[in-house]
Amino acid sequence: MDDESQRELKEFIEQESAKSQIQNAVHSFTSRCWETCISNAKSNQLDKKETACLQNCVERFIDASVHVVKRLQNSQH
Amino acid sequence: MNSGSGLGDYNLDLSGPITSVKKEAIKQQIKQELAMANAQELINNINKNCFKMCVPSPGTSLSSSEEVSLNRCIDKYLASWDIVSQAYVSRIQREKH
């Protein structure tokens, strides 16, 4: 395969792989936050409270992950 | 779950010089396999979470009320996926600035 084609495909795979990583994170957040925020399937739609809970859940989960990493970095001697 | 397929299974003739047609075929194949993996992950998670919610004590068959609950749960799960996706993507964009 010529250099140009190799570069083109490499770039394509990197882009697709980045998209895939984001999708996987969304899968994992959705499952995690579903457990926290959704307690019933009485309706097939999310109500305002559930929607807000899901949004907060994603934000706080990321905050908590960042916090854990910072805390562990600071505690290194 | 295993998709059970690699590039090799798709009659992609990679011998000879690479043409733009072959490159497109490779790209389409990659996209398709990732889309398949994404769908499988979604289905697995819906099964796991909606079974837990709608069939707490499994009987000898799936009752109609359990089926109704599963249908609502599926819709709700998909809506949740969209909300979470929007929240995550907007967070990533905010972090960039």
Is residue A29 within 8 Å of B84, Cβ to Cβ? yes
Establish, for the pair of chains A and B, how many residue pairs have beta carbons separated by less than 8 Å. 95
Of chain A, the percentage scoring pLDDT greater than 70 comes to 99
Report the gap between the CA of A4 and the closest CA in chain B (Å). Answer: 11
Architecture of domain B7-96: Orthogonal Bundle (1.10)
Quote the mean pLDDT of chain A.
95
ipTM for this model? 0.91
Of chain A, the percentage scoring pLDDT greater than 90 comes to 90
Disruptive mutation site among A58, A63, A69 for chain B (greatest number of B CBs within 10 Å) = A58
Q: Which residue ranges make up each domain of chain B?
A: 7-96
Report the gap between the CA of A29 and the closest CA in chain B (Å). Answer: 7
Q: Is the pLDDT of residue A44 over 50?
A: yes
* Max CA distance (Å), chain A: 58
pLDDT at B10: 56
Tell whether B27 is within 8 A of chain A (Cβ): yes
- Going residue by residue through chain B (97 aa), what tens digit of pLDDT does each one get? 444 445 445 566 677 778 888 899 999 999 999 999 999 999 999 999 999 999 999 999 999 999 999 999 999 999 999 999 999 999 999 988 7
Measured CA to CA, the distance from residue A27 to residue B43 in angstroms comes to 10
pLDDT at B18: 80
Contacts of A19 (CB under 8 A, 6+ apart): B34
Q: Across the interface, which of A5, A19, A24 has its CB nearest the CB of B23?
A: A5
pLDDT at A77: 57
Q: Which of B45, B18, B16 lies closest to A25, judged by CA?
A: B45
pTM (two decimals): 0.86
Residue A21: pLDDT band (50, 70, 90) is very high
Q: Which residue has the higher pLDDT, A16 or A3?
A: A16
Residue A10: pLDDT band (50, 70, 90) is very high
Partner-chain contact B84 A29, CB within 8 Å: yes
Could you give the domains of chain A? 3-74 (1.10.287.810)
Q: Which of B77, B11, B94 lies closest to A46, judged by CA?
A: B77
